Amino acid sequence: SYELTQPPSVSVSPGQTASITCSGDKLGDKYAFWYHQKPGQSPVLVIYEDIKRPSGIPERFSGSNSGNTATLTISGTQAMDEADYYCQAWDSSTVVFGGGTKLTVL
């Protein structure tokens, strides 16, 4: 079965750029999606089809996907961006999530 691997945690200082990676076999041949989830809340879609932002998602969120790695980049990270981030792909009629990355803004 297809697997997506994320680092368990990433730390960033306020105002700096945070990068969260998601690795999977030939992931660049698929679309990658990203969600964030704050404690006690439901997941929220922040990037779809590798690079697109849903309405209401700040421009500081961007995505890329090539080779075996998709990356979510948060420019000018704010304290409100502290959350768990999950990547997701679609493989063989199965939804696959990465294990999640806890982003700490300190």
Partner 1 sequence: EVQLVESGGGLVQPGGSLRLSCAASGFTFSSYWMSWVRQAPGKGLEWVANIKQDGSEKYYVDSVKGRFTISRDNAKNSLYLQMNSLRAEDTAVYYCARSHWGGPSYYYMDVWGKGTTVTVSS
Alpha carbons 69 and 63: distance in angstroms, whole number: 11
Q: Give the nearer residue to partner 1 in terms of CB position, either 81 or 84.
A: 84
Phi, psi of 24 (to 5 degrees): -160, 155
Q: Assess 48 for contact with partner 1 (CB under 8 A).
A: yes
What token pair was written down for 74? Answer: 């948060």
> Shortest Cβ distance from residue 30 to partner 1 (Å)?
7
Q: Give the nearer residue to partner 1 in terms of CB position, either 14 or 54.
A: 54
Strands 9-12 and 18-23: unpaired
Interacting residue ranges for partner 1, rule: CB under 8 A: 1, 30-31, 33, 35, 37, 42-45, 48-49, 54, 84, 86, 88, 90, 93-100
